[in-house]
Amino acid sequence: MLILRKLLFPFALLYGAITWFRNFLYNTGVLKSREYDLPVICVGNLNTGGTGKSPMIEFLLKILLPEYRVATLSRGYKRNSKGYVFLSGRESAAIVGDEPLQFKRKYPDALVAVDANRQNGISCLAEENPEVILLDDAFQHRKVKAGLNILLTAYDKLFINDVMLPTGNLREPAAGAERAAIIVVTKCPPDLGIDEMQRIRTALKPRNYQRLFFSYISYGEEIFGNGNARTLQVLAKVNFTLITGIANPVPLVEFLKERKFVFRHLQFPDHHQFSSAEIKKIASRDFILATEKDYMRLKEHIPAEQLWYLPINTKFITGEEAFKREIREFIKTK
Q: Is the pLDDT of residue 2 over 70?
A: no
Residue 317 is classified by DSSP as E
Q: Tell me whether residue 105 is in a domain.
A: no
Each residue's pLDDT tens digit, 124-140: 999 999 999 999 999 99
Are 256 and 283 in a shared domain? Answer: yes
Confidence of residue 5 (pLDDT cuts 50, 70, 90): confident
| Whether residue 212 is found in the same domain as residue 144 | yes
Are residues 304 and 166 both part of a single domain? no
50 lies in the same domain as 141 = yes
243: CATH: 3.40.1010
Q: What's the confidence (pLDDT) of residue 289?
A: 98
**Residues 213 and 229 reside in one and the same domain:** no
Verify that 140 and 210 share a domain, yes or no: yes
The per-residue pLDDT for 285 is 95
Give the DSSP H/E element, type plus range, for residue 91.
none
Strand extents, DSSP E, the chain? 40-45, 70-74, 85-86, 111-114, 132-136, 148-154, 182-186, 211-219, 222-225, 228-231, 240-244, 263-267, 287-290, 307-309, 312-318
Q: For residue 4, give the nearest of 156, 165, 173, 245 by alpha carbon.
A: 165
CATH number of the domain encompassing residue 13: 3.40.50
Instruction: Answer whether residue 23 shows pLDDT above 90.
Output: yes
Q: 252-262, pLDDT tens digit by residue?
A: 999 999 999 99
Whether residues 33 and 182 share a domain: the answer is yes
Q: How confident is the model at residue 6 (pLDDT cuts 50, 70, 90)?
A: confident
Please indicate, yes or no, whether residues 146 and 269 belong to a single structural domain of this protein: no
Same domain, 173 and 236: no
Mean pLDDT, residues 138-163: 97
Domain holding 12, by residue range, is 2-68+131-217+315-333
Distance CA 22, CA 18 (A): 6
71-84 pLDDT, tens per residue? 999 999 999 999 99
Shared domain check, 291 and 242: yes
Considering only CA atoms, which of 161, 167, 121, 166 is closest in space to residue 141?
A: 121
CA triple 4-265-293, angle to 5 deg: 85
Judgement on whether residues 155 and 236 belong to the same structural domain of the protein: no
Total structural domains within the chain: 2
